[in-house]
Structure 1
Amino acid sequence: MLAFSLQLYAVYKTHPAIGFDLWVFHHALISKSLNAESAYFSRYQNNILMLLIQHGYLSVVGIKNYWFKLDLLNVILVDSSVLINVLLVFIYNKVYIARVIWIQAISLFFFPMILVPYSDTFILPFVSLELLFFVCIIKSKKVIFTILCSTLLGLVTSFVYFIKPSAIIPVIAIVIMAIIRLRKISKREVLTGSCFLLMLISSYVMIGTFVSTQKYIKISKQDNMPPIHFISIGMSGQKGGYNLESVKMMYKLKSPQQKKEYSIKQIKQTLEKRGPLGYIKFLISKQGYNTANGTFGWLQEGNFLVASSKVHTNVFKQYLYADGKYLSDFRFFAQILWVIALGILLLGFENRGLLENTLRLGIIGGFIFLLLFEGGRSRYMIQFLPMFVVLLTLISFDGITKFKRIFYTVKK
């Protein structure tokens, strides 16, 4: 409760305007002229559903105090993810319940992304739901409950795909583990898989139809950025992150085929320039940029937060704003916690239960995705945090025990 209360108070005392992509959302939600915003959402059509949901929310609560109300929604979503994580751990093994509460509470104290109402945090409760339904499936002894959970998993997966496609990676890990562990096909497994696929396909069609027929903002479907574009910029530069030159070229090219051909050409040129060893070195370096920052890229985006801690100053602004007096202290403590968490995850490899291995596979899948597609900053890791939190909960004892053994061995 202390962590939740502190979050609400922090949002109330700050709720700054946020730049980068969210500035386009801001104009699309409060402006009557949507021409420029239409161009953006035509290029990044995966953001349309979130825009529509935020529009519906603001239609109910009003646009007065816009940033505060969006941050409040963001807090609700983040905290919902926390509660779902606690519930799924309780269902899986209630022995870990105190541990997951402590881990979640501590992490919330160092998670300023509640001030950034974007898809990274918006998707968190739904990623947690993916894991919750999986745990319910493997723990349930009743066929009807298993079928219900698999159906809901299919629905959530479709919804997640339209908000942030990469966030379906946990479900991909679940399917892979289910196939690996399959010994013989029973009626229960056939029903579970069939219900999942049926709901996945039907809900995908329904949500896709809703998004494509919406009237709120005019969209040019052929302007959508092809997936291969994000692979191309994921190979560019030093970090494999946002590439303005490539994006500008995408804006100039009109047809989807031209965009694909340009991206393929860029990929070939990059591979020829780097060579096999050079590309491997690049991937190793990029993995560091993708995962090393314990603040998850706080203030690293262009035009991220244009606000001063000196205006109506308070302790939250001093810790989180770019000119804040204690910003470096926040970064230091957040980094220490992140390093400890990664260390425990690395050392807790001996715990190899079904859920633990599925979470490991999902995290590795997230790493691979960020290596192949646009990355270069750890903000993209936020969408996978439920997997990290749950796995850390389940293997923390093993990881700490392993660390003690290594420590005493070295000490001797």
Structure 2
Amino acid sequence: MNNIKEYLQRTINIILLFLFIWIIVALCIANRIDYACKINWKISNIGLIIASLLIIYLYCKKVKERAFQRINMNRLVLIATIVLFFLEVYICYNIFFETGWDSGAYIIPAARALLGKLDVTSMNEAYFKTYPNNLFLVHIYYALLRINEKLGVFTGAYQLMVIIVFNCAISSMSCWLTYIIARKYASIKYSLLGYILAVALLGVSPWNVICYSDAIALFFPIFIMYIYTEDRINIYVRNFIILVAGYLGYCIKPQAAIVIIAIIIAELLKITHKYEKSFWIKEGAVILCSVTLIAVIAGGLKNLYNTEGFEQDKNRQFGLTHFFMMGLNPEYRGVWSGEDVEISANCKTAEQRRETNLEVSKKRLNNYGITGYAKFLTKKMLTNYNNGTYAWGAEGSFYAIVPDNNSRMSHFLKNIYYNDGKYYGIYSQVVQLLWVMVLAGVAISSILGLKRKPCQSNIQLILQLCIIGITLFELLFEARARYLYLYVPVYILLFVLNGDYLEGYLKKKSTKK
């Protein structure tokens, strides 16, 4: 059984290594390829990769663990996280705007309609019958707006700041959880590096100001990972929380379920006979209770939606086959396509839509051929991975409503975060460098995984499976860099959890010389 587990762990590591060789090579030739949402970085990715490797090497060699041992780093990071939260709120207030696309066209108007007890029939017909998964998000926003209405904190043009404060709380907490998880498996030195990267890529990210699922869904993968690694929680309670949290995350953004799949696979690879019969009886009871609660929540939400006027129609819903078809669109290079939306919308039944989607998908695959499809997937890989801002500003009508704020700090911060800002080029290049460094770190981790014995802990295996899962998901379905956003802490963790091993490996190499 151990041999089978080790073989499967090696196989998963090899798959991850293959994907990251693909990613790194694609990044190196990105300027020569035409792909969706392309950005021509002033500093080439080859230069950024070299700089990243140099930074990683110097951090391993020059930064000493003993420098942090006299400091209560856990307390310091907690204080820094509280400060970070207020900093995030301050930044978001000064760069505040209401975005367009799905958020401004349907999600926020629906939440405001519920707040004002208005009719939602037209919005349901136009959008939510097709994309009912966003109804849970609407109700989260409605609850926040209602609380704000009672308290009267944010009014007028800044009403949505209550949602953004919630986003900031999630972002800062996600940074803190990244550090806490890293600290369980890595030295202070590399845990702190993980925290710094999380703060730079998530904590001060402008995505906190966007009222959409990406900002809220960020919490679920890292929270579930934290619960999974928290041994102080009873194992049965732990599994119950994981399953329920996974379902709630799925209701907000389907990609959030990937972490649950990863945990299930990792658990199945454990030696089953080490558990007694009583364990499986209790575990079965936990699963039964979880499924029952999930069914109650699902039923309750459905009844709530129907009562409010959000009646659902299975024949109008777009399923996975639609997004698979859209992910194959040659003209739009695998991103959102109005042409494909029209194809699916013209189908009268769910079965007809599924058959049409698969038929169009089959034709497109045949037209590509094996070589053509590989080239197409490489372009999608760049759409997903070659953007450290996670395609900030790429959605339609992005800066839809920008309220007047003429303060000097607002002007300065807008110059950093707005796409047409004076300093945006510097900001985007810095986060691109940090993102490339994380990707290079994951690639190094996958190489080191071939040199070391498979880990007894499941944590690294789960991290690997999450990254493989989200990468394959975005390759097969609609591509978007922001869809990786909720798994950024996972990428960071896989990088820093191998930091101590990398440092030891470098020391061993230098000693031999």
Q: TM-score, normalised by structure 2?
A: 0.72
The amino acid that maps onto 2:379 is S
Segments of structure 2 that go 5 or more residues without pairing to the other structure are 1-79
Instruction: Note closer, same or farther for the CA distance 1:152–1:311 as it changes in structure 2 (3 Å cut).
Output: closer
The amino acid that maps onto 1:385 is V
**1:2-401 equivalent positions in 2, closer than 5 A:** 2-23=83-104, 24-31=106-113, 32-39=118-125, 40-62=127-149, 64=155, 65-92=158-185, 95=188, 97-108=191-202, 110-136=204-230, 139=231, 145-187=234-276, 189-190=279-280, 193-214=283-304, 215-222=307-314, 223-237=316-330, 239-306=333-400, 312=406, 313-349=410-446, 350=448, 352-353=454-455, 354-375=458-479, 377-399=480-502
Whichever of the two has the greater Rg, that structure is 2
Instruction: Note closer, same or farther for the CA distance 1:94–1:209 as it changes in structure 2 (3 Å cut).
Output: farther
SS at match of 2:380: helix
> Whole-Å Cα distance in 1 between the matches of residues 403 and 135 of structure 2?
33
Sequence identity (%):
23
Aligned-residue RMSD, C-alpha: 2.7
- Give a deviation string over 1:354-405, Cα, whole Å, max 9, x none: 3112201110111011111111x21100121221132233123445777899
> Whole-Å Cα distance in 1 between the matches of residues 508 and 210 of structure 2?
41
Are the counterparts in 2 of residues 320 and 330 from structure 1 also a CA contact under 8 Å? yes
The amino acid that maps onto 2:226 is L
> Whole-Å Cα distance in 2 between the matches of residues 321 and 100 of structure 1?
26
Q: Which structure is higher in RCO with an 8 Å CA cutoff and minimum separation 6? A: 2
> Whole-Å Cα distance in 1 between the matches of residues 503 and 426 of structure 2?
26
The amino acid that maps onto 1:197 is I
Match of 2:40 in 1: none
> Whole-Å Cα distance in 2 between the matches of residues 13 and 404 of structure 1?
47
> Whole-Å Cα distance in 2 between the matches of residues 67 and 403 of structure 1?
50
The amino acid that maps onto 1:37 is M
In the alignment of these two chains, the number of paired residues is 402
- The more displaced of 315-324 and 91-100 is 91-100
> Whole-Å Cα distance in 2 between the matches of residues 402 and 288 of structure 1?
31
Are the counterparts in 2 of residues 15 and 67 from structure 1 also a CA contact under 8 Å? no
TM-aligned CA deviation for residue 227 of structure 1: 1.6
Are the counterparts in 2 of residues 15 and 71 from structure 1 also a CA contact under 8 Å? no
Instruction: Note closer, same or farther for the CA distance 1:241–1:203 as it changes in structure 2 (3 Å cut).
Output: farther
Are the counterparts in 1 of residues 98 and 402 from structure 2 also a CA contact under 8 Å? no
